[in-house]
Amino acid sequence: MAISEAEVRKVAHLARLAMTEDSVEAYTRNLSNILDLVAQMEAVDTDGVVPMAHPLDMTQRLREDVVTETNHREAYQAVAPETEDGLYLVPKVIE
């Protein structure tokens, strides 16, 4: 296996996924298969190759530093699971 069950549990936590214990085995197998596929990259000589971040090698377009967004708080909060007085509600964070 290219990845262990312990590593899968750790990655699930890093990705903020509450992985259930009965799923660990299947994910470990599937992720290992994907990593085996990806391992074909290792054999390639990439010394001196510039990584490609963008196909067109563009530079970032800049805009005037002015306000362009209007306030949509009400519309955006209308789709939130829970809000109160214009604030998003989450479980208590600080005791």
H/E element holding 88? strand 87-88
Query: Residues 21, 61, 65, 67: which binds other proteins (CB under 8 A)?
Result: 61
Q: Which of 70, 71, 81, 85 binds other proteins (CB under 8 A)?
A: 81
Residues in the chain: 95
Give, as ranges, the residues between 11 and 50 that touch other proteins (CB under 8 A): 11-20, 27, 30-31, 33-35, 37-42, 44, 46, 49-50
Q: Specify the DSSP class assigned to residue 80.
A: S
Among 56, 71, 85, 86, binds other proteins (CB under 8 A): 56
The answer to whether the CB of 35 falls within 8 A of the CB of 8 is no
Least Å distance, CB 67 to other proteins, is 14
Contact with other proteins (CB under 8 A) among 55, 65, 66, 70:
55
Helices (H) and strands (E) in the chain, counts: 3, 2
Please state, as a whole number, how many other Cβ atoms lie within 10 Å of the Cβ of residue 22.
7
Least distance to other proteins from the beta carbon of 1, Å?
13
Beta bridge partners of residue 83, listed in sequence order: 88
